[in-house]
Copies of this chain bind each other. A is one copy, B any other.
Amino acid sequence: MNANITVRMLQRLPLYLSYMKALSMDGAVHISATALAEALGLNDVQVRKDLAAISEGGKPKIGYAAEPLIRRLEMVLGYDNQIEAVLAGAGNLGHALMAYQGFSEYGLNIAAGFDVDEKAIGTQINGKMIYPFRMLNDTCRSMNIRIGILTVPAKEAQAVCDAFVASGIKAIWNFAPIRLKVPAGVIVQNEPMAASLAILSRHCAGTAHS
């Protein structure tokens, strides 16, 4: 098990986890892959495969024991151990993300923010300090930071991305509407909120095609 956890699979696992947590709170002790698939509107062969890849397998007619499977999902998703991140660009969106207290559920802690704006530098959001951007490298190296959250304007995004990479960051969560160029070994996860909003708006205007 655990040999071949693909990115597509990682996109489904949080769905299983949240559904199973809710079931478990309702007192359920076991769940079958079929019931899980049906509840989530997914293909049941797919769900069965996913669960087999991360766990010991379910028991015939009983299914999976809920608690061990929840623990296993949390482990595979990395929610069980805290990972430290930094954020660059403490504007509106960066501020909102630093103030958001829900990331701890997912094992993410934003250790510090960085900005070039003198007014932002030295302030705190949610108890986390905003440092001058020139301190990025030293901070990331000394804290062994591997995740960088990028919330600067599109125009500055590639330069900040390069600075992240130079600081040893291996995974970039990109909220800027731009395709970043990164060397091999570094991944970018895009959060295309502008595109999402455009899709929603156009649907309401009645003109979007799928």
Report copies per complex: 2
> Which A122-170 residues have C-beta < 8 A from chain B?
146-147, 154-155, 170
- What is the CB-to-nearest-CB distance from A81 to chain B, in angstroms, rounded to a whole number? 9
**Does A99 interact with chain B (Cβ within 8 Å)?**
yes
**Residues in chain B near residue A181, CB distance under 8 A:** 41
Centre residue among A147, A196, A205 by max chain B CB count within 10 A: A196
**Does A91 interact with chain B (Cβ within 8 Å)?**
yes
Known interface pairs A5-B207, A19-B154; A191-B189 also in contact (CB < 8 Å)? no
Known: A78-B198, A96-B100, A170-B204. 7 other contacts (CB 8 A): A10-B195, A18-B194, A25-B155, A83-B201, A171-B201, A187-B203, A189-B199
Chain A residues in contact with chain B, CB under 8 A? Answer: 2, 4-7, 10-11, 13-15, 17-19, 21-22, 25, 40-42, 76-79, 83, 91-93, 95-97, 99-103, 106-108, 146-147, 154-155, 170-171, 173, 176-179, 181, 187, 189, 191-205, 207-210
